[in-house]
């Protein structure tokens, strides 16, 4: 009986582990291919081990396109994915506090508007927003990639933080109020420090979404000096490009490293965020 159970456990692990490796195989393959000589990648596609091992692809890829190197692309991506999340977090925290702790006229309607904006996918606004930003003279600059996000328009973050604030005991607010604290003091001195886990979760998601964002970069950025990494990677696939697949895989690998690092170090926060986004009915 015990032996049978043991075989069962071993089969379970072999199956689950094998399937996991299959899931990750495409990523391994890209990573290993980035160290192969570029003309051997597809002739040796079956083997994962680069022979000979070379880092040349990284040097070639880093040079970028038409004199603009990947250093510029990474710098642009970082710029957008740091400023955007800061604005998102600051504005969403305020709005979340307003929804969670204040009573005012029109709150219900406003809350419904927020839920509706959560259901509305960004792609549907692609054309309308473009026409509007065109009028504002923002096309060609980083503004469309940063400014809208400073106004709490992504309901996910408001919702995430609101849930968290509702879990903080109201007695803390009341005590502070008796001590003469205004609402702004309660927010700044009590709620904000206590909600740091929600802020970290929010920061991680916001950063990842801004980093991966391709559509708005495609729409609004036309100067290669302002390209973020996601848009620069697309140049490797454009017809007429030199199709240096080694360099392409090398830069693609580099582009996902920040996300993978976040994944390794902040897994718990990621799981929290996903639970908020999917569990509520």
Partner 1 sequence: MNKSSRFYHFINKEKNVGVIFCLPFIIGFLVFLIVPMGISLYYSFCDYDILSPPEFVGLKNYIEMFTQDEVFWHSVKATFYFALVSVPLRLIFALLVAMILVRPTKATGFYRAAYYLPSIIGGSVAVAILWKRMFAPDGVINSLLGLIGIETNFAWLSDTRTAIWTLIILAIWQFGSSMLIFLSALKQIPKELYEAADVDGANKFTKFFKVTLPLLTPTIFFNLVMQIINGFLAFTQSLIITQGKPMDTTLFYAVYMYQQSFNFNQAGYASAMAWVMLLLIAVITFILFMTKRFWVYEQE
Contact positions with partner 1 (CB under 8 A) in 218-257? 218-219, 229-231, 233-234, 236-237, 245, 248-249, 252-253, 255-256
Residue whose CB is less far from partner 1, 166 or 277 = 277
Q: Binding partner 1 by CB under 8 A: which of 10, 11, 14, 27?
A: 27
Q: Which stretch binds partner 1 (CB under 8 A): 13-21, 54-62, 77-85, 166-174?
A: 13-21
Sole binder of partner 1 in the list 59, 115, 261, 271 (CB under 8 A)? 271
What is the token pair recorded at 193?
């420090």
Rule CB under 8 A: say whether 280 interacts with partner 1: yes
Please report, as residue ranges, which positions from 160 to 199 form the binding site for partner 1 (by CB under 8 A).
182-184, 187
Cβ at position 95, least distance to partner 1 in Å:
4
Decide: is 216 part of the binding site for partner 1 (CB under 8 A).
no
Work out whether 129 is an interface residue with partner 1 (CB under 8 A): yes
- Residue pair 245/41 in contact (Cβ under 8 Å)? The answer is yes
Site string for partner 1, 47-86 (x = CB under 8 A): ----------------------------------------
Q: Is there binding between residue 215 and partner 1 (CB under 8 A)?
A: yes
Q: Considering the rule CB under 8 A, would residue 115 count as an interface residue with partner 1?
A: no
For the segment 140-159, give every residue that binds partner 1 (CB under 8 A): 148, 150-153, 158
Contact criterion met (CB below 8 Å) for 23 and 38: no
Does 121 engage in binding with partner 1 (CB under 8 A)? yes
Q: Is residue 112 involved in binding partner 1 (CB under 8 A)?
A: no
């Amino acid at each position: 009986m015990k032996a049978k159970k043991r075989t069962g456990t071993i089969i379970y692990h072999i199956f689950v582990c094998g399937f996991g490796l299959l899931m990750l195989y495409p990523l391994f393959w890209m990573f290993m291919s980035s160290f192969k000589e570029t003309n051997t990648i597809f002739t040796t596609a079956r083997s994962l081990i680069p022979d000979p091992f070379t880092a040349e692809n990284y040097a070639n890829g880093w040079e970028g396109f038409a004199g603009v190197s990947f250093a510029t692309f990474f710098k642009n991506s970082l710029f957008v994915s740091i400023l955007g999340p800061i604005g998102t977090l600051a504005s969403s925290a305020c709005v979340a506090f307003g929804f969670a702790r204040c009573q005012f006229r029109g709150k219900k309607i406003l809350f419904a508007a927020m839920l509706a904006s959560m259901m509305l996918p960004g792609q549907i606004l692609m054309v309308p927003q473009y026409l509007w930003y065109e009028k504002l003279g923002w096309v060609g600059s980083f503004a469309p990639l940063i400014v809208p996000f400073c106004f709490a328009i992504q309901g996910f973050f408001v919702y995430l933080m609101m849930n968290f604030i509702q879990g903080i005991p109201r007695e803390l607010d009341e005590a502070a109020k008796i001590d003469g604290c205004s609402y702004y003091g309660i927010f700044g001195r009590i709620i904000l420090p206590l909600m740091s886990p929600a802020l970290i979760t929010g920061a991680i998601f916001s950063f990842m979404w801004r980093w991966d964002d391709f559509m708005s970069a495609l729409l609004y950025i036309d100067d290669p000096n302002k390209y973020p990494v996601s848009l620069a990677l697309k140049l490797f696939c454009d017809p007429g490009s030199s199709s240096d697949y080694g360099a392409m895989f090398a830069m693609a690998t580099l582009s996902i490293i920040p996300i993978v690092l976040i994944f390794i170090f902040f897994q718990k926060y990621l799981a929290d965020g996903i639970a908020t986004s999917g569990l509520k009915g």
